[in-house]
Amino acid sequence: MTHDWPAVVRELEGLLKLRSIVFGMKMFERREDMEAIERIRRPRSVHTLDQIVGQASRLGWTVGITSDDLVGAQCRAVVGLGDAKTDEWKSGRHMSGVWFSNDDDAGAHQAAMHCIPDGRYEALAVGPLSSGKLGEPDIALLYATPGAMMYFINGMQWSGYKRFDWSVVGESACADSWGRALSTRTPSLSIPCFAERRYGGVLDDEMLMATPPEYLVKAIEGMKALSGNGFRYPFPQYGVQQDVRAGMSVSYGEKT
């Protein structure tokens, strides 16, 4: 199924008051297919994947990379580029004494990460969803405030209710977002880590949702229904000392 991505993005921006660009990520088994995207940018320097994602979400660029464009195995491993998951990588020793107290803790962190297996893909591309350059991306991603994320999740739960359970690995939180969404094909919310904020330009009050793109449409339908019931973002403050019955009766009537 194909989607009208410019229309989808316009609705998301209006419903969630987004401050950054909704973007997509697509994996390629052949480098040549990534490079065939019209006017795709290729890095001239070595980057973290957080920076590549930031170029899409903050600057509106469509960027393609291979394993050689990334600074180290940690970035490559999450998206399965190159032969990143060596025994040395699995040991986590490069993070021992930096993010974790010892080798055992560092190795446990590596084992907890959601990653695409090595060997299948040679390249990936990220870019604004509305540009259409990625066609149907593997996943769509958006940054938003915690309040906007809650509203987005409420929209996904409006029909066909499902409880969502997400993970927090700490540093390398890209494994909680795009790593998890790509490998499990499910909506994946994350609290962006230090590297994403330092190198990827993520703001202090932002969270990241990565999801198979069809869930965007589902969330929009749900948020429109919630809006019809008077629930809209940003949420208006009622007051911590007011009698709550008048406010709740508007939504629940005699149910309260």
CA 205 to chain centre: 15
Give the H/E segment covering residue 124. Answer: strand 123-128
CA angle 150-154-159, nearest 5°? 165
Could you read off the pLDDT tens digit of each residue along the chain, which spans 256 residues? 678 999 999 999 999 999 999 999 999 999 999 999 999 999 999 999 999 999 999 999 999 999 999 998 999 999 999 999 999 999 999 999 999 999 999 999 999 999 999 999 999 999 999 999 999 999 999 999 999 999 999 999 999 999 999 999 999 999 999 999 999 999 999 999 999 999 999 999 999 999 999 999 999 999 999 999 999 999 998 889 999 988 888 888 866 5
- CB contact at 8 A, 114 and 184: yes
CB proximity list for 231: less than 8 A, separation 6 or greater: 151, 154, 251
Q: What is the DSSP letter of 96?
A: B
Cβ burial, residue 107 (10 Å; 0-12/13-18/19+): middle
Cα torsion 212, 214, 219, 220: sign: positive
Whether omega for the bond prior to residue 192 falls within 30 degrees of 0, making it cis, is no
- CB contact at 8 A, 62 and 128: yes
Rounded to whole angstroms, the Cα distance separating 180 from 211 reads 9
pTM, two decimal places: 0.94
Torsions phi, psi for 201 (to 5 deg):
75, 15
